[in-house]
Amino acid sequence: MSQTRNPLFQGASTLFYKEVLRFWKVSFQTVAAPVLTAVLYMLIFGHVLSDRVKVYDAVSYTAFLVPGLVMMSVLQNAFANSSSSLIQSKIMGNLVFLLLTPLSHWAWFVAYVGSSIVRGLAVGLGVFAVTVWFGNPSFVAPLWILVFAVLGAALMGALGLIAGLWAEKFDQLAAFQNFVIMPMTFLSGVFYSIHSLPVFWQGVSHLNPFFYMIDGFRYGFFGVSDVSPWASLGVVGCALVFVSVLTVHLLKTGYKIRH
């Protein structure tokens, strides 16, 4: 008896495999390089501030840095995966081969976001494997670690798709990364607790969704955080739904790819 596969699943899985293979072929650049960058952050900030900054009781500053650097790497590389792939296809002209296929907008979304999650988690695991020797953090609530890592990578993968659809050249994409993604990542509590900030800047930090992704992820290691992990989950979940709905709509209408 012949079995027929779901066209959506078959198309999405093929594109997903292609996208994973795309970044894995140059893993020295897409995986190893971000790991090295995170190690340099650990060496510099951990060495300079380890004896000067106290964040949580019974948690050293170096251990505090490890989850932040891991999650920062996950978010940045998940965004870079989908955004760079789409903009490269648009500029090189091979996006037309995808447009000629009967792939639905849902297949595009699942494949690009799914591959972004894989790349983000791969880099995150690499960063953790190297930096864990410096801080030796514990695993108080591992399920929270997994939840925030996957949701954060999915959110950034979808956001990367929006940036890739919007940008028409590499300069525009670089501007999006440098003036939106990078500041929001660095001002999200990767290197500090927001309780060390003045009251005004604490309020500003609470408007940054990246803060909730990193704070919830860090809770999984230490069991303490600046806000409740449930509140962080709610913010991240709502942000993911909003960005995903917008991304699917743009893909469905062919925004800047069908002209």
Tens-place pLDDT, residues 112-132: 999 999 999 999 999 999 988
DSSP state of 193: -
One-letter amino acid identity for 245? Answer: V
Tell me the β-bridge partners of 56: 59
> What confidence score (pLDDT) does residue 8 get?
61
Mean pLDDT (whole number) for 16-22 = 93
> What confidence score (pLDDT) does residue 136 get?
74
Task: For 37-95, write each residue's pLDDT tens digit.
Answer: 998 988 887 776 666 666 777 778 888 889 999 999 999 999 999 999 999 988 888 88
Higher pLDDT, 230 or 254: 230
- Identify the three-state secondary structure at position 120: helix
Indicate the average pLDDT of the chain: 88
Whether 219 has a pLDDT exceeding 90, the answer reads yes
The per-residue DSSP string of 84-114 comes to HHHHHHHHHTTHHHHHTS---HHHHHHHHHH
Paired tokens of 162: 């929006």
Whether 138 has a pLDDT exceeding 70, the answer reads yes
Q: Compute the half-sphere exposure of residue 157: CA atoms within 13 Å on the CB side of its CA.
A: 26
> What confidence score (pLDDT) does residue 7 get?
60
Task: For 156-211, write each residue's pLDDT tens digit.
Answer: 999 999 999 999 888 999 999 889 888 888 888 888 888 777 888 888 888 999 99
Give the Å distances, CA to CA, from 213 to 140, 187, 189, 259: 17, 12, 10, 36
99-113, 128-142, 238-252: segment of lowest average pLDDT: 128-142
Residues 6+ apart with CB under 8 A from 191: 45, 65, 68
For residue 6, name the pLDDT band (cuts at 50, 70, 90).
Answer: low
For residue 1, name the pLDDT band (cuts at 50, 70, 90).
Answer: very low
Whether 20 has a pLDDT exceeding 80, the answer reads yes
The answer to whether residues 239 and 155 touch, using CB atoms and an 8 Å cutoff, is: yes
> What confidence score (pLDDT) does residue 156 get?
96
> What confidence score (pLDDT) does residue 49 get?
66
Q: Which of 124, 126, 127 is nearest to 156 (CA)?
A: 124
DSSP state of 59: B
| Alpha-carbon dihedral 176, 180, 186, 189, rounded to 10 degrees | -140
> What confidence score (pLDDT) does residue 100 get?
81
